[in-house]
A and B are shown apart, each in its own frame.
Chain A
Amino acid sequence: MKNNHTPPHWADRLLETFLSPHMLEDVQGDLHEVFYKRVSEVGLAKARREYCWAVLQYLSPYFFKALNQSSKSTIQHVIDYPSPSLLNPAMISNYVKIAWRNIAHNKSFSTINILGLALGMACCFMIILWIQDEFRVDAYHANGPQLYNVMERQFYDGKVDAGRGTPALLADELKKEFPEIVYAAGLSWEEERTFSVGDKLNKEKGRWAGADWFKMYSIPLLAGTAETALNAPSNIAISRKLAENYFGSPQAAMGKSIRIGNKEDYQVSAVFDVPLASSVTYDYLLSWKDMISHNEWLKDWGTNAPETRIQLAVDRNGNTVHPARLEAKMKSFLKSRNPSIAKSGSDIQLFLQPYQEAYLYSNFKNGYQDGGRIEYVRLFGIVAVFILLIACINFMNLATARSVKRAREVGVRKVVGAGRGWLIGQFIGEALVLTCLALLIALATVWLLLPTFNSLTEKHITFQLTDASFWIILAGMTLVTGLIAGSYPALFLSSLNPIRVLKGTVKFSSGARLFRQGLVVFQFALSLLLIIGTIIVYRQINFIQTKNLGFDREGMIYVSSEGELGTKYNTFKEQLLQMSGIQSVTKMDGTPTNGFGSTGNVQWPGKDPKASIQFQFSKVDYDFTKTLKVKVKGRDFSKTFGADSTSYLINETAARRIGYNDPIGKPLTLWGKPGTIIGVIADYHQSSMHTAIEPFIAKLGDGQIIIVRIQPGQTKQALTSLETLARQLNPKFPFRYRFADEAFQTLYRSETVVGSLANYFAFLAIFISCLGLFGLAAFTAEQRTKEIGVRKVLGASVLSVVALLSQDFIKLVLIAIVISSPIAWFGMSRWLQEYVYKIDISWWIFALAGLLAIGIALLTISFQSIKAALMNPVKSLRSE
């Protein structure tokens, strides 16, 4: 009632802003006194009008603050209160005491708060560590800024493709041709070869590399020098691991001989230790001369296989040669060496990619850079921010919901003279203290989970306590979290009106409630985004892994045809087929899911002379379609037909590209050898689902990988048969095999990792959100104790009370579903665009995610609401 009998608020505010402070109290007092007198004389409305008018009269320079510096001095004693400092020890100890009592008094709330924050921070910290580690990859080279990868941009068949494969001769030729290049080295694909030293026998993975390799890259050498490591054909540089395994120590290894493939001997010329942060790994490096002599076909400028790396020169002023200028000069270098490029009507251009970017920006689309791992880095960065925000919102929600309890404290503090700024400081300080507690728990959690996380992501992340950035991240995260989490409660609580608070009639404005509800909606929308994303990623991975590839990858084994297995392959095959568990055996180049190579040199009558179509090709053995279990129209290669050396199998895509209606029996020329098509095999996926099925040609020949089809259910017998026979025929080589479905899984390594990480993070997000919801539900139930008591006395059932308490929250979750669904749909359809073969985003995914969220929310709330509904009304109403 009295509320209405006050002078207009705005007029008072106006007065307070412009009136000189030393005059304010008595002038305003006088005005108020007159106002109240006038209210009883002439009524409220007129009194208020008069008051406003009177206030406006004070808008004269005399009363303005700024102009009253001189007059202030004469009346200074009026405002000269001692001002207590915020940093007064007594105040600080008071703040700490109150903060501690608040934590200790509401154990459940404090636990929810700290736990939520700790989980959020742990999650965020882990992701930051991961991101930091991603940026460290390949960033350790002293010459880093000068290092570039030479890549090819191929224009053919109306398409543009970028690739890392280059001619093997390119590195040396580039170095000779361009003075801007100081060092250049090739790097081959990875090969697994059999090493023997004395009676030690093992398979090792390594590569060939150019002679400049160790001069360009800062790879620590434990023995040997960068100049001599790879300069002779029989040199081999090995890793510390190999040196210790075979020779005991790096020093002992130097100059010793290693036999590779039971054929050639190499001398150890250097021992290196590749840092963990390297994107390419190898246990040995052989020289480039050795590479060329082993792979005669690499002398041709038309083949593209190894990578080419260069280091740019630095001029006298320390500036690197401008890469764009060099790129322009190099662009048509390949045409000058390989005249057949121009003849074929296609074009191949060289371009440069900074070496340090190559790891994160590895994808090329239509010949130009397009994302790569950096997308995952960004994605997880966003997830980290989301989860931290969700945790902060929990804190904000619980703190404001519980502010009734602290309103009195705020009132008393204000009455005894606390300014708003101090109160804000106090509450943010409290939030920071809680955040610090949460940080300790978060650090412990991360420390415990790091080994699991490392094995999941194949990283070697550790706590680098000596690294300044580690501490900066920690401090920054704590500060940001504390400030965000503490900001709203601090602003809200400090704005309370002490008079009303101390009268005990705290009624929060609908704005504050709305804000709180908005926060819950936001929280759930974020959680839903993560849930929907996870479902879609999971379904896509599932789709990839269960999709019919066109061949049967279950029960198929790859064995490398090394040594005697290569030379005595026919004996091996014959004997193997006699043994138990083996259904059929064949051989091909590469594996069905990891193609060997492609060629454009395919001719047929009526081919458009300008068309240049790339065909995947492989040399295969008899029983190819039988072993792979691929459907074939026409026939497979067969010994009953003598002339099969010029017969070709093509896949359906190839048939379509060639344009034959009935291809069987039609002519086809591969590499200048005319032949006929004997069969069309059903399309099968030769690569991951990221790429479309390409035209494919198979011809009879000597492939590299032996493919064995196992009798269903007899895997054990088949492996024993294989191993016995391999040992017997090929004693100088260790027996190694690989299951086809395992090899297939590795194609989706990053998807699987991302999928399981997304799983964990979505779970965490919803868990933290629920923690907050749990707290809020507890708070509302507590606030409405009396209402529930009255309802029960009047005959409400338990169910109706539970429904009453739940419906508010369910509404919020529903709004969150409506908001997040389109965003999730947009984001996920962009992600799916990376796949040629993909699932549809159907409506039920959103429905499922929504139901899941509602279900989880209901479950969370139900505990509190049922508890409240079951309470005896006598107890809750007793105190009234």
Chain B
Amino acid sequence: MGEFEEIVLLVVAACPEEAYGVNIWEDVQQQTGRSITMSAVHATLYRLEEKGYLASTMGGATAERGGRRKRFFVLTALGVQALNDIQEMRNRLWQAIPPGKFQLIGG
């Protein structure tokens, strides 16, 4: 899983309401502080769904989008597992860093 995919997956996981294209895109930009195109977010969401990390359902018709429905994304068990795996790996790596090393470099 790439870094961007991880971020998107995390944003979906962290989203307090139902997550769909627009709020995921906004959150990703907000969290990363970078300007990201919506197409990149959409492509990633669909790719994650293909990989089985996300699942999607279509919501009800909405007024403000010309009647078009939203696609809500939720994490699958596989997605949760993947995030956990990454987090575990990170934790292991963090713990492997010798104490005091950062102070030396960061000076």
Binding site for B on A (CB under 8 A): 23, 25-34, 36, 54, 57-58, 60, 62-63, 71, 74-75, 78
Whether the pair B62, A57 counts as a contact (CB closer than 8 A) is no
Complex CA–CA separation, A28 to B58 (angstroms): 14
> Could you pull out 15 A-B pairs where Cβ atoms are within 8 angstroms?
A23-B42, A25-B58, A26-B68, A26-B70, A27-B42, A28-B66, A30-B65, A32-B68, A33-B22, A34-B25, A57-B39, A71-B46, A71-B50, A74-B50, A75-B56
Whether the pair B71, A57 counts as a contact (CB closer than 8 A) is no
Complex CA–CA separation, A71 to B52 (angstroms): 12
Chain A nearest CB: distance from B64 CB in Å? 6
Whether the pair A54, B69 counts as a contact (CB closer than 8 A) is no
Interface residues on B, range: 20 to 34
Residues in A whose Cβ lies below 8 Å from that of B21:
26-27, 29-30
Whether the pair B65, A33 counts as a contact (CB closer than 8 A) is yes
Judged by a CB distance under 8 angstroms, whether B91 is at the interface is no
Given known A-B contacts A63-B39, A63-B43, A26 and B69 have beta carbons under 8 A apart:
yes
Complex CA–CA separation, A54 to B58 (angstroms): 22
Residues in A whose Cβ lies below 8 Å from that of B47:
62
Residues in B whose Cβ lies below 8 Å from that of A27:
21, 42
Assuming A29-B69, A33-B22, A74-B49, what are 6 further A-B pairs, CB within 8 angstroms?
A26-B21, A26-B70, A29-B66, A30-B20, A54-B39, A57-B39
Judged by a CB distance under 8 angstroms, whether B37 is at the interface is yes
Of B37, B39, B49, which one neighbours A75 at CB under 8 angstroms? B49
Give B51-103 interface residues, CB cut-off 8 Å to A: 56, 58, 62, 64-66, 68-71
Whether the pair B70, A30 counts as a contact (CB closer than 8 A) is yes
Chain B nearest CB: distance from A416 CB in Å? 14
Whether the pair A58, B65 counts as a contact (CB closer than 8 A) is no
Whether the pair B39, A58 counts as a contact (CB closer than 8 A) is yes
By Cβ-Cβ distance, the 3 closest A-B pairs, closest first, are A29-B68, A30-B21, A26-B71
Closest residue of chain B to A25, judged by CB? B68
Complex CA–CA separation, A58 to B46 (angstroms): 13
Closest residue of chain A to B43, judged by CB? A62
Chain B nearest CB: distance from A741 CB in Å? 82
Residues in B whose Cβ lies below 8 Å from that of A25:
58, 68-69, 71
Judged by a CB distance under 8 angstroms, whether B10 is at the interface is no
Closest residue of chain A to B24, judged by CB? A30
Given known A-B contacts A57-B37, A74-B49, A74-B50, A29 and B42 have beta carbons under 8 A apart:
no
Judged by a CB distance under 8 angstroms, whether B11 is at the interface is no
Complex CA–CA separation, A552 to B89 (angstroms): 126
Chain A nearest CB: distance from B37 CB in Å? 5
Judged by a CB distance under 8 angstroms, whether B38 is at the interface is yes
Residues in A whose Cβ lies below 8 Å from that of B43:
60, 62-63
Whether the pair B37, A29 counts as a contact (CB closer than 8 A) is no
Residues in B whose Cβ lies below 8 Å from that of A36:
64
Chain B nearest CB: distance from A66 CB in Å? 16
Residues in B whose Cβ lies below 8 Å from that of A63:
39, 42-43
Whether the pair A32, B50 counts as a contact (CB closer than 8 A) is no
Given known A-B contacts A26-B70, A63-B43, A75-B49, A32 and B38 have beta carbons under 8 A apart:
no
Complex CA–CA separation, A636 to B62 (angstroms): 109
Chain B nearest CB: distance from A42 CB in Å? 15
Max chain B Cβ within 10 angstroms of own Cβ: one of A30, A63, A75: A30
Chain A nearest CB: distance from B62 CB in Å? 7
Residues in A whose Cβ lies below 8 Å from that of B42:
23, 27, 30, 58, 63
Residues in A whose Cβ lies below 8 Å from that of B65:
29-30, 32-33
Residues in A whose Cβ lies below 8 Å from that of B69:
25-26, 29
Complex CA–CA separation, A33 to B56 (angstroms): 19
Whether the pair A30, B37 counts as a contact (CB closer than 8 A) is no
Residues in A whose Cβ lies below 8 Å from that of B62:
29
Chain A nearest CB: distance from B20 CB in Å? 7
Complex CA–CA separation, A74 to B51 (angstroms): 10
Residues in A whose Cβ lies below 8 Å from that of B25:
30, 34
Chain A nearest CB: distance from B16 CB in Å? 18
Max chain A Cβ within 10 angstroms of own Cβ: one of B20, B25, B68: B68
Complex CA–CA separation, A33 to B66 (angstroms): 9
Complex CA–CA separation, A26 to B20 (angstroms): 9
Closest residue of chain B to A32, judged by CB? B65
Complex CA–CA separation, A34 to B58 (angstroms): 18
Complex CA–CA separation, A36 to B47 (angstroms): 27
Chain A nearest CB: distance from B54 CB in Å? 11
Complex CA–CA separation, A54 to B38 (angstroms): 7
Closest residue of chain B to A58, judged by CB? B39
Complex CA–CA separation, A63 to B42 (angstroms): 9
Whether the pair A26, B58 counts as a contact (CB closer than 8 A) is yes
Complex CA–CA separation, A34 to B20 (angstroms): 12
Whether the pair A32, B66 counts as a contact (CB closer than 8 A) is yes
Residues in A whose Cβ lies below 8 Å from that of B40:
57
Closest residue of chain B to A30, judged by CB? B21
Residues in A whose Cβ lies below 8 Å from that of B46:
23, 62, 71
Residues in A whose Cβ lies below 8 Å from that of B64:
32-33, 36
Complex CA–CA separation, A32 to B68 (angstroms): 9
Residues in A whose Cβ lies below 8 Å from that of B71:
25-26
Whether the pair B68, A28 counts as a contact (CB closer than 8 A) is yes
Given known A-B contacts A26-B58, A75-B56, A34 and B38 have beta carbons under 8 A apart:
yes
Closest residue of chain A to B52, judged by CB? A74
Whether the pair B38, A31 counts as a contact (CB closer than 8 A) is yes
Residues in B whose Cβ lies below 8 Å from that of A78:
58
Of A29, A60, A71, which one neighbours B39 at CB under 8 angstroms? A60
Chain B nearest CB: distance from A14 CB in Å? 13
Closest residue of chain B to A27, judged by CB? B42
Complex CA–CA separation, A584 to B40 (angstroms): 113
Complex CA–CA separation, A29 to B20 (angstroms): 10
Chain B nearest CB: distance from A59 CB in Å? 9
Closest residue of chain B to A24, judged by CB? B68
Complex CA–CA separation, A31 to B42 (angstroms): 11
Residues in B whose Cβ lies below 8 Å from that of A23:
42, 46
Complex CA–CA separation, A36 to B69 (angstroms): 16
Residues in B whose Cβ lies below 8 Å from that of A26:
20-21, 58, 68-71
Of A29, A31, A58, A62, which one neighbours B70 at CB under 8 angstroms? A29
Max chain B Cβ within 10 angstroms of own Cβ: one of A33, A34, A36: A33
Residues in B whose Cβ lies below 8 Å from that of A29:
21, 62, 65-66, 68-70
Complex CA–CA separation, A38 to B92 (angstroms): 44
Residues in A whose Cβ lies below 8 Å from that of B66:
28-29, 32
Given known A-B contacts A26-B21, A30-B25, A57 and B38 have beta carbons under 8 A apart:
yes
Complex CA–CA separation, A62 to B49 (angstroms): 14
Residues in B whose Cβ lies below 8 Å from that of A30:
20-22, 25, 38, 42, 65, 70
Complex CA–CA separation, A26 to B62 (angstroms): 11
Chain B nearest CB: distance from A67 CB in Å? 12
Residues in A whose Cβ lies below 8 Å from that of B49:
74-75
Complex CA–CA separation, A54 to B56 (angstroms): 23
Complex CA–CA separation, A228 to B70 (angstroms): 97
Chain B nearest CB: distance from A728 CB in Å? 105
Complex CA–CA separation, A74 to B20 (angstroms): 18
Residues in B whose Cβ lies below 8 Å from that of A60:
39, 43
Chain A nearest CB: distance from B42 CB in Å? 6
Chain A nearest CB: distance from B36 CB in Å? 10
Chain B nearest CB: distance from A128 CB in Å? 53
Chain A nearest CB: distance from B1 CB in Å? 17
Chain B nearest CB: distance from A31 CB in Å? 7
Closest residue of chain A to B21, judged by CB? A30
Closest residue of chain B to A29, judged by CB? B68
Residues in A whose Cβ lies below 8 Å from that of B50:
71, 74
Chain B nearest CB: distance from A683 CB in Å? 87
Complex CA–CA separation, A58 to B43 (angstroms): 9
Complex CA–CA separation, A116 to B38 (angstroms): 59
Residues in B whose Cβ lies below 8 Å from that of A54:
37-39
Complex CA–CA separation, A537 to B65 (angstroms): 68
Complex CA–CA separation, A30 to B46 (angstroms): 14
Chain B nearest CB: distance from A171 CB in Å? 87
Closest residue of chain B to A7, judged by CB? B66
Chain B nearest CB: distance from A500 CB in Å? 14
Chain A nearest CB: distance from B57 CB in Å? 9
